[in-house]
Chain A
């Protein structure tokens, strides 16, 4: 921290000069105060009102929250988020770690391979959704192709099957982000103290033991970051569902983000929509606030 402001001058010009940094910062502070925190308060308020197509400012207590958990689509969305979130985080972490360890073995063309693993991260979820939507479509995609190869009985209809459709969201989402998780773990691997590894190696430890006992425990910070980033992305997932399945078949792939949008803007149940958004915010805050807290405090 560096305090550079000079002795407070008596003349107005000096005072202006001293205040200049704060003046420069103030538009951003005002914007965030209104458009982030003000809006959060507004939406929280709406979640306690009987707002339908337009905001209504009369309070109705916890009614929207009570009703929310009686709506079948919302419960589906919550269960789906649990399934999707857990699988998405677990698979991305396993695959990311696996690929990072493989890429850390003095691979020729490492940079090239890394570029290929990571490029999906530059794409829009809508593009990813379109590509996987038609690739998983039984009529023209994978199933049709494999049948064309002579396996007449091959069947892959997850995307049109209400019970399995949520897993197609996992497939596409993992494809998009696992390369990024790989990059995070690779950066972590490169930061590990080599002396300790060499010592253990001289003691005759096998590669497997080295990784399990020494390398992976040291990747804790990378795991933490990956978890926070992935959990936060899972809760916010919206575009991918819209492009891949549109929430269907039926409500089979509904997530909280798609539920909020459809209840607020197409079903005109703004109070219910606001309540679902508040629950999303609480879930994310429970993950992000402790993380930001520790990150910012450590720096001092």
Chain B
């Protein structure tokens, strides 16, 4: 999708070396790097300075006095809900939510993709289309019935309820990934194994799964990022003690009681961003592949 090596661009080939044009080009690219990094810089630099330095107009400067107090406050002391627990319990909620939700939706997506490509039946393309449309609906359409359904299932206001919701609305994309990947997998291998007497699960386990590494990584990263970053479901279906990180961060920042501790807000924002940012830095290639497959044909 996005080749790491730059291809031959004949238009570019014309102008190499260090002409004034090239310098302007690099200058513009550099300026945009600053533009994209600016909010990250603002968050980072203000999360390690005392509040007084921010309120006196020093948002862009490096701290005069470096301090980790805002980080400690955001993690374990800040008033988020009823008690001053900091963001730590909500960070844990997010982890408890994201791990099972990602695992379940990925496994179901892999099996669905396998059936839809190697055991296709009449109408399976239509079925896939219907499955896929579910990814794109505005979730406002399901908020009201889902709230009632979670109540009926005894999952209202719990982390388990959030896991359930994320699995339900994550299946579409995970199926999309595995379906497009398995479609390119040689069907002859599957057929040969079948002639040798291998069954449905054996073929999946022995033949398809061992070569599914890359797409599994793409799918896991996509689901992880989406579910970790979700706000709408978290805000709609959680109680005070089951809120995910994004909802807790928003409560921390919007709370109107007391002094606004901007430095604590920034530290909290970085904490909420860190897991997905880390995944992006470590496995950015797969992240981009997931993004592209979600929009362009896989």
Contacts and interface: CB of A to CB of B under 8 A. Distances in A.
Interface of A: 1-6, 17, 20-22, 24-25, 27-29, 31-32, 35-40, 42-43, 46, 55, 99, 102-107, 110-111, 113-135, 139-141, 144-145, 147-148, 175, 179-180, 183-184, 186-187, 189-190, 194, 197-198, 201, 207, 210-211, 215, 221-222, 225-226, 228-229, 232, 235-236, 238-239, 242-243, 246, 256-257, 260-261, 264-265, 270, 273-274, 276-278, 280-281, 284, 288-289, 292-293, 295-296, 298-300
Given A190-B7, A201-B14, A299 B138 contact: no
A124 B119 contact: no
A116 B297 contact: no
Contact of B145 (A43, A106, A296): A43
Interface string B101-127: 000000010011011111111000101
A126 B247 CA distance: 8
B137 A281 contact: yes
B32 interface: yes
B269 interface: yes
Interface string B33-50: 101111110110010000
* Residue with the greatest number of chain A CB neighbours at <10 A, chosen from B7, B13, B140, B146: B140
B161 interface: no
Interface string B234-266: 011000000000100110011000000010011
A244 to B, nearest CB: 10
Interface in B199-220: 199-200
Contacts of A99: 29, 32
Interface of B: 1-4, 6-16, 25-26, 28-29, 32-33, 35-40, 42-43, 46, 54-55, 57-60, 108, 111-112, 114-121, 125, 127-134, 136-146, 148-149, 168-169, 171-172, 175, 187, 190-191, 194, 199-200, 225, 228-229, 231-232, 235-236, 246, 249-250, 253-254, 262, 265-266, 268-270, 272-273, 276-277, 279-281, 284, 287-288, 291-292, 294-297
A39 B141 contact: yes
A232 B208 CA distance: 33
A41 to B, nearest CB: 9
Contacts of B138: 235-236, 257, 277, 280-281, 284
Name A's interface SS: helix
Contacts of A264: 143-144
Given A102-B28, A113-B29, A32 B115 contact: no
Contacts of B117: 2
Contacts of A128: 39
